[in-house]
Amino acid sequence: MNIKDSDKSVGINAIELLQRMLDKKLPKDYLDFLLEYNGGYPEPDCFLFATGKEGSSVQGFYKINSQNDFDDLIKIIKTYENRIPEDFIPFAYDPGGNQVCIAVSGKQYGKIYFWDHETEEDNINSSISKNMSLVSNSFTDFMNALCKL
């Protein structure tokens, strides 16, 4: 696994501020990723859904305190507020504008889901939406499963 163009770590204080803003705790493996890389572009970058039948790729990971609106984690969380169920936050995006999300609360805590914007629902709640597909059971599993297709 190689992460290209990652930002310098913002440190634990910025991550704790994010957690207070969300009023949720980030899963430890994702928190550790932010501390080490804070965004970037993975190689390899492809992943399959848990069903093994479909998948996508990671165009990039969002960053805390990015200089760009398109990859700033806090701006993206606010953009998708009331669109993605409240138990989830996007942490990466694919080339088509879909989101890769991690559950930060609820029964799915720590699991990774793909959120398809083309089948987005008008009414969402804190549970999984119909346009979401399970990818993996943890951030670590997600990262370990990235491959070339």
Q: Which domain CATH number covers 140?
A: 3.40.1580.10
Average pLDDT over residues 68-97: 94
Residue 46: C-alpha distances to residues 36, 57, 110, 140 (Å): 21, 4, 20, 15
Average pLDDT over residues 114-118: 93
Count: domains in the chain: 1
**pLDDT the model gives residue 125:** 63
CB 89 within 8 A of CB 124: no
Strand 112-115 versus strand 132-136 pairing type? antiparallel
The maximal CA–CA distance of the chain, rounded, in angstroms, is 40
Beta bridge partners of 84: 81
Residue type, 145: A
CB 66 within 8 A of CB 77: no
Per-residue pLDDT reduced to its tens digit, 56-70:
999 999 999 998 889
Question: What does the mean pLDDT of the chain come to?
Answer: 92
**Has residue 75 got a pLDDT over 60?**
yes
Beta bridge partners of 76: none
What are 69's two structure tokens?
């609106």
What percentage of the chain reaches a pLDDT higher than 70? Answer: 96
Domain hosting residue 87, numbered range: 2-145
Report the C-alpha gap between 138 and 112 in whole angstroms: 6
Report the C-alpha gap between 109 and 79 in whole angstroms: 21
The pTM (predicted TM-score) of the whole model is 0.93
